Structure 1
Amino acid sequence: MPEETDMELKDKVSPSRVGEKRWWHRWFRTPGELRELGVVGINMRNARFLLPNNPRRLYDLVDNKLRTKALAEEKGMTVAETYGVARTPHDVKVLHKLLEGRDAFVIKPARGSGGKGIMVIDKRKGKDFLKPSGAVVTEGELKNHVSNILAGLFSLGGKRDEALIEYRVNALELLTSLSFQGAPDVRVVMLHGYPIMAMLRASTKESDGRSNLHQGALGIGIDIATGVSVHAIHHGRTVTKHPDLGIDLVGIQIPEWDRILEMAVMCQEMTGLGYLGVDIMIDEKFGPLMIEVNARPGLAIQMANGIGLMKRLEPVVAEHKRRPSAELVDKIAYSKKYFRALD
């Protein structure tokens, strides 16, 4: 689904790692120079990797979050519990019944795009609700928000939608310390089931607890081999500390990294999509939770890692041709070996 990372990277580049030619932020680059650096733009992504590998008939498996969660549960993956689904205006009127006994929860469109329409409620305050930022949301405002979801205000193509009410993830303290009033998530991008790149998306005061990079969240590149953060960006600019918290962003070990990669590859197997992104959050109690699968993963992950995607996509294309039936463990081992970030 279109999202904050769907952008052409013609003049937004960051210093690279792994001993490759360095990128400099906002210097103009010709198409030829971008190709040499391995930068993948939207047109190239669509023509060479997305359209040939993602049959249209499979899109609904991931564009509908309810279907995606059901598939993940069948595969034995842990997902955020669904408390209820609002489908009709009547459901909006009796929303209080769906929320009964729930102090913290997330409301999101089943077919939302780019993180739009997601509302995180942290606690109750009398008859009202509080966001992680402390902003008050009345019951009437909550119902209006759900009505807007049903009307398709946040959905792909503006079609009528359903509103999911689900468990509000209690992220690990290690990760919440990197995020301003929001729970960060890990995005893993894959081709043919091989993990290509990963990043942690952490919120800032500007992004209001959301992990949307266009709204001011941070993109923190993660070494595929070790799960350690190696590079970070904010509005396309390289940073080393959180702009609000002053916390170091590089050198952080992401917990349960092997399990995260395993879940990402399982998502590829369960959907059949060749090119995709998987979003995972790490809960204090339940560990890694599959949150979402994206059939149109964006491109700012290159900036977060300081590496052009083509440097990794082309080797995987060749490896997939050589070993089309490689097992999950072999794909992860390949990515760890050949996509390791160097000091």
Structure 2
Amino acid sequence: MALWSLPKFTRPRVLSSKGIMGMNRRNIDYISRYNPRRLYPLVDDKLQTKRIALASGVTVPDLIGTIRQQHQVRHLAEMVSEWPGFCIKPAQGSGGKGITVIVRHDREYYTKPSGVQETIDDLERHVSNILAGLYSLGGKQDVALIEALINFDDSFEGYSFEGVPDTRVIVFKGFPVMAMMRLSTDASDGKANLHQGAVGVGIDIGTGRAIRAVQFDQPVEHHPDTGRRLSELQVPDWETLLRLSASCYEMSGLGYLGTDMVMDKLRGPMLLELNARPGLAIQTANGTGLLPRLRQIEALNSSRMSVEQRVAYAREHFSIPVTAATPTAASAG
């Protein structure tokens, strides 16, 4: 039980003493300081992120097409007719809102991972809502992206329920400082959203192995739907994933960001999206605070370090012993 048990701290002073970073400090000391606002469109718009990723040689899911105008919605069925499965997402959505995944179809009924079937009218209505800005940041008019499905790596079988598990890595000044996997559950409706009930698994930066796991901020040992023991989770091709995440620093120009990666069994690590305002729940999943690691990087003269050197430094200095037991909350100011 030592791997997963963790005392719960709630008072801001206690959290701060344990290195837990709160939202105010994140916003003022790191996001505002290291992320120029002029660069936000590169990560807030998934289509722009895809373009800069491809230009930098970073693997991303295949783009089937885009729908920008209402009159194009009626072409959706034709656009996806030759694709056995696909994903519809808003270009400027956040938190997984507005994403619809179709795993198979017969051109009449379109089946979601849960088994629920949609008609083309249902999907067209959803795309229209995306264009109207129902899911976008600030309610602005948006673009619908139609992407190919990800064939997630077989090594994750049983670790996620009706959804693709993804890996969030916090990258600071090009150093991967903390990582977690988000595993979808029945409670999260097959989406890797921790607030909706997905499981967050802290991942050791040094090895790619699970440190501990939480659901709704409470430690768990097994996946609630599949029963798979979470302490056995190991992310394959971990070195490559870290290098890709670290390279997003040069790619985006953002000093403090979250990279969301998936493992495709055919194409390896693949970038889903970037986040200029990554959440703080990753500290709960890891059972440790971000602040000591961020301060350690700030004290370095790292301007001439390569991606490989930054990854090697992070793996050496930020690996956590599996017996570590540290605080679980991330709400300090």
Same fold (TM over 0.5): yes
C-alpha separation between the residues in 1 aligned to 2:98 and 2:237? Answer: 29
1:299, distance to aligned residue in structure 2 (A): 0.3
1:324, distance to aligned residue in structure 2 (A): 2.3
Q: Which runs of 5+ in 1 are unaligned?
A: 1-14
C-alpha separation between the residues in 1 aligned to 2:288 and 2:93? Answer: 29
Q: Which runs of 5+ in 2 are unaligned?
A: 323-333
Match in the other structure for 1:28: 10
Match in the other structure for 1:40: 21
Q: How does 1:227-242 map to 2 (within 5 A)?
A: 227-242=208-223
C-alpha separation between the residues in 2 aligned to 1:52 and 1:330? Answer: 24
**Partners of 1:16 and 1:306 within 8 A in 2:** no
Match in the other structure for 2:308: 329
AA at the equivalent of 1:45: R
Q: How does 1:177-326 map to 2 (within 5 A)?
A: 177-319=158-300, 322-326=301-305
Match in the other structure for 2:150: 169
Match in the other structure for 2:37: 56
C-alpha separation between the residues in 1 aligned to 2:289 and 2:7? Answer: 13
**Partners of 2:83 and 2:148 within 8 A in 1:** no
Match in the other structure for 1:10: none
TM-score (norm 2): 0.93
Deviation digits for residues 186-217 of structure 1, max 9, x if unmatched? 11001101101000101001111100111110
Displaced runs of 4+ in structure 1, greater than 3 A?
Answer: none
C-alpha separation between the residues in 2 aligned to 1:331 and 1:153? Answer: 39
Deviation digits for residues 197-249 of structure 1, max 9, x if unmatched? 00010100111110011111010010000111111000110111101111111
TM-score (norm 1): 0.91
Q: Which has the higher contact order (CA 8 A, sep 6+)?
A: 2
C-alpha separation between the residues in 1 aligned to 2:10 and 2:96? Answer: 30
Deviation digits for residues 264-290 of structure 1, max 9, x if unmatched? 011111100000000111111111111
Deviation digits for residues 265-318 of structure 1, max 9, x if unmatched? 111111000000001111111111111011110000000100011121111111
Match in the other structure for 1:78: 59
Match in the other structure for 1:6: none
3-state DSSP of counterpart to 1:210 = coil
C-alpha separation between the residues in 1 aligned to 2:237 and 2:128? Answer: 38
Identical counterparts, % of pairs: 45
C-alpha separation between the residues in 2 aligned to 1:28 and 1:213? Answer: 19
**Partners of 1:16 and 1:307 within 8 A in 2:** no
